[in-house]
Amino acid sequence: MKFQIFLYSGSKLLSVREIERYLKERLKKNVEDRGEFLNHCPKGSAEEFAKTLARIRIIDVMKPFKYNEPLYGEIEYEKRVLKGAVAPGGILYDGFMLQQIFYELLPKEEKNLESVHIIFTDRLLATFDENDLRYHARVNILGCPSIISVSGVVEAPAKPREYYVERQFAGSEELLKLKYKGRFIDYDDERLTEVVKGCAMQAVFYQIFGEAFCESKKCRLYNAHWQEELINAQLKDNFCERHEKMLRL
């Protein structure tokens, strides 16, 4: 099957080169690290783009998406994020709206099934769930392009149950992180790049084969809802028998 993969770095917490090497080795396909996504986009007004990003911030997690009218300070903050002066911490963005924004910026000739675009970002993304009528943080938004949120890897899958029980009783966040160290992925975690390799594979499988996830907890395509499930699925570079065969197609 003929396709090519384009990677776009947007996080200082990852080694995109390492992810590039991994995908090349496992898929035997052309993989290109293009650097920062916006460097490959038509040049426009930084002011307008910052405003667009500020408009898709999630203001109320209990309400469906609605564009908001950003304040001057919010636009200025987004401009600083775009320049790399600050990290986009503590802010939720609507994942599907961000995907739509990025899609419009892709070259017309690369908007096809044979071009797999994977964008890594530090922005925390979320989607609105119609079942419980609230937003939930996500690890990835799959499609064209696929967006992998490094913050989502840390924040979206739940930590061990005991962690939350102890935190309810005014437990120190830092002490709890030390106590449960190794049982979840954190921002300074040396395992982060390894975990994101599997997330990148989910993006490839979704676009090329029409399926991103696997029911087997031992497969890298498993859609983990708990941090310990994420760690168990991603740190051994294992795929189930069916998906291993698909890798060789």
What single string gives the DSSP state of each residue in 106-119? S-GGG-STTEEEEE
pLDDT exceeds 80 at position 129: yes
pLDDT, greater one: 62 or 167: 62
What does the block give as tokens for 34?
Answer: 């293009």
Closest CA to 142 of 73, 88, 96, 188: 96
Boundaries of every domain in the chain: 4-247
For residue range 19-42, list pLDDT tens digits in order. Answer: 999 999 999 999 999 999 988 777
pLDDT in tens, 186-241: 999 999 999 999 999 999 999 999 999 999 999 999 999 999 999 999 998 899 99
Separation in Å, CA 52 to CA 55, 86, 87, 95: 5, 18, 18, 13
Structure tokens at 120: 């890594």
Q: Which of 132, 131, 130, 53 is nearest to 94 (CA)?
A: 53
Beta-carbon contacts of 185 under 8 Å, excluding residues fewer than 6 positions away, are 153, 154, 191, 192, 195, 227, 230, 231
**Topology of domain 4-247, CATH:** Collagenase (Catalytic Domain) (3.40.390)
The model's pTM is 0.95
Question: Given this model, what pLDDT does residue 243 score?
Answer: 97
Instruction: Select from 234, 154, 236, 223 the least CA-distant residue to 189.
Output: 154
Question: Where does the pLDDT of residue 89 fall: very low under 50, low under 70, confident under 90, or very high at 90 and above?
Answer: confident
What is the rounded average pLDDT for all residues in the chain? 94
Q: How far apart are CA 200 and CA 198, in angstroms?
A: 5
Pairwise CA distance, residues 138 & 160, whole Å: 18
